[in-house]
Amino acid sequence: MPTASLRLVAATLHSTQTKTRMPFRFGIAVMTEVPHVFLNCTFEINGGTFTGIAADGLPPRWFDKSPGKSPQQEIEEMLLVIRHAVSLAQQLPAATAFEFWRALYAAQMEWAAQRGLPALLAHFGVSMVERTLLDALAKSHGTTIFGLLKHNLVGMDLGALHAELAGRQPSDFLPSQPLQRLIARHTVGLSDPLTQGDVPAGEELSDGLPHTLEQCVQFYGLRHFKLKVLGDVDADLDRLRRIAAVITRLCGRDYAFTLDGNEQYREFPRFVELWDRIQADGALRLFFDKLIFIEQPLYRSVALDPAVAKIREWRDGPPMIIDESDAEMADLERALELGYAGTSHKNCKGVMKGAANRCLINHRNAVEKTTRYQMSGEDLVNIGPVALLQDLAVQAALGNASVERNGHHYFRGLSVFPAAVSDAILAKHGDLYTPLDGFARLAVREGELAIGSVNSAPFGLAAHIPMDSFEAVSL
């Protein structure tokens, strides 16, 4: 049965600085270091007390791409939305987790609109509190995140989020069991070297992990990829040809990939031009036979504008999904109406929202007797010891089999955290992590992640992560 009563009674926030092993370029940003925060919230649930944890990096230039804001200003705003969500949550007793989340979502949205903060950013704060709640709730029920969603212990009213799902339960749409293995879809960043010849002198890495795309394919056994484009058609075509040459040489025809438009196009015809030139290139056309979908080529301000996003009129176009444009609950329905094929799931956009969106996608596929509609598992340099595991747990519960993972490529495992963190993770998650030079690194084997220990934990994480080595941040 869903929870009868719950309230937030205490919360703490901690932070640490993490540095990448190589620059990560995405869209308009290049990241070499980023704060990583841990939120612990204690809830009173049905008379008992349970503590849940959530964590995430604070990457500038994704939640808000306003050119006038500095990276530090964006980091401060990410902390602001977390603080405000916690403050609101402390005033919101509710009967079910779903009611608690919806009330918090609505209050945060109203506050953010008054301050001119983007919805995607505002709901990141909500998602941090939501994740701690789901962790605590799973512990209170003695179950897992899959159990909470499958058996609707959160009290989710699907019809309140998507009217066409009224009267239905998550179990009508979600898998009967969580996936036990996930395909790691490797991101090829805009500045990532493809072969050793692309590595500038003096920038070679010798830290026990692969550096170039060529090395990554061989080291991890990769076969799924995510390719990013810059918005310069000629430059994009040249890089795609070079990437295709590496992948086909090492993988033959045993590969698949997605193309990330990175919001680089403000005019749809300009993106169509890129696609037409791909199709006119014999080698690239053959390579693109393995395309799964294209992700968010249009800038978020125009991606859901019917006057710009003429997706449905593009009869011979590939499947396209939204990512950054999926900021509010109605955005997936708007996207499907325009002709998009689906959306992404990231925990930072909301777990219950993602579950409801997956139910809608599966419903549409069943009603229309198609497999056109898709949900993709995506990632923005997501790393352990908490965020990665919780995200994998949700992806497995929703049935998202191919999941973009790249945090392990840009960070040297858990070496950015104290050794005690690696010890705790290796002790509880030895299927997902493996030792390297005294710390834990993600174990991608034959291009896949084994997540049995993740699925067995309340919400992805079975280990206790001590906070005493991190900086306490005021709430």
Q: Is 116 exposed, middle or buried (0-12, 13-18, 19+ CB in 10 A)?
A: exposed
Q: At residue 81, does pLDDT exceed 80?
A: yes
Strands 320-322 and 342-345: parallel
Q: Which token pair is 308? A: 């710009």
The continuous run of DSSP H or E covering 97 comes out as helix 97-115
- Which pLDDT tens digit goes with each residue over 94-149? 889 999 999 999 999 999 999 999 999 999 999 999 999 999 999 999 999 999 99
Kindly provide the residue ranges of all beta strands, DSSP E only, lying in 312-418, ordered along the sequence.
320-322, 342-345, 374-377, 402-405
- How large is the C-alpha radius of gyration of the chain? 21
Number of Cβ atoms within 10 Å of the Cβ of 185: 25
> What is the 8-class DSSP label of residue 319?
P
Q: How confident is the model at residue 285 (pLDDT cuts 50, 70, 90)?
A: very high
Sign of the torsion angle spanned by Cα atoms 329, 334, 336, 341:
negative
Beta bridge partners of 224: 185, 256
Which 3 state secondary structure label does DSSP give 46? Answer: coil
Q: At residue 92, does pLDDT exceed 70?
A: yes
C-alpha 60: how far from its chain's center? 15
**Cis peptide leading into residue 385 (ω within 30°):** yes
Distance CA 424, CA 403 (A): 25
pLDDT, residue 26, reads 61
Q: How confident is the model at residue 284 (pLDDT cuts 50, 70, 90)?
A: very high
Which amino acid is residue 191, in one-letter code? S
Q: Is 216 exposed, middle or buried (0-12, 13-18, 19+ CB in 10 A)?
A: buried
Distance CA 121, CA 74 (A): 9
Higher pLDDT, 372 or 24: 372
Q: Which token pair is 132? A: 């701690």
pLDDT, residue 5, reads 83
Q: At residue 189, does pLDDT exceed 90?
A: no
Kindly provide the residue ranges of all beta strands, DSSP E only, lying in 256-380, ordered along the sequence.
256-260, 291-295, 320-322, 342-345, 374-377
Q: What mean pLDDT, rounded, does the chain reach? A: 94
The 3-state secondary structure of 186-236 reads EEECCCCCCCHHHCCCCCCCCCCCCCCHHHHHHHHCCCEEEEECCCCHHHH
pLDDT, residue 64, reads 66
Q: At residue 23, does pLDDT exceed 90?
A: no
Q: Which token pair is 245? A: 């040459």
Q: How confident is the model at residue 392 (pLDDT cuts 50, 70, 90)?
A: very high
Q: How confident is the model at residue 4 (pLDDT cuts 50, 70, 90)?
A: low
pLDDT, residue 24, reads 77
Q: How confident is the model at residue 60 (pLDDT cuts 50, 70, 90)?
A: confident
Which 3 state secondary structure label does DSSP give 70? Answer: coil
Q: Which has the closest alpha carbon to 180: 387, 414, 450, 465? A: 450
Q: Could you give all domains of the chain from N- to C-terminal order, each with its CATH number?
A: 6-143 (3.30.390.10), 170-466 (3.20.20.120)
Q: At residue 262, does pLDDT exceed 90?
A: no
Q: How confident is the model at residue 388 (pLDDT cuts 50, 70, 90)?
A: very high
Q: How confident is the model at residue 27 (pLDDT cuts 50, 70, 90)?
A: low
The residue-averaged pLDDT of 424-434 equals 98
Q: Which long-range contacts (CB under 8 A, 24 or more apart) does 352-356 make?
A: 352/97, 352/98, 352/101, 352/130, 352/154, 352/156, 353/123, 353/161, 353/329, 354/394, 354/398, 355/149, 355/156, 355/170, 355/174, 355/394, 355/397, 355/398, 356/156, 356/158, 356/161, 356/162, 356/165, 356/329
pLDDT, residue 22, reads 87
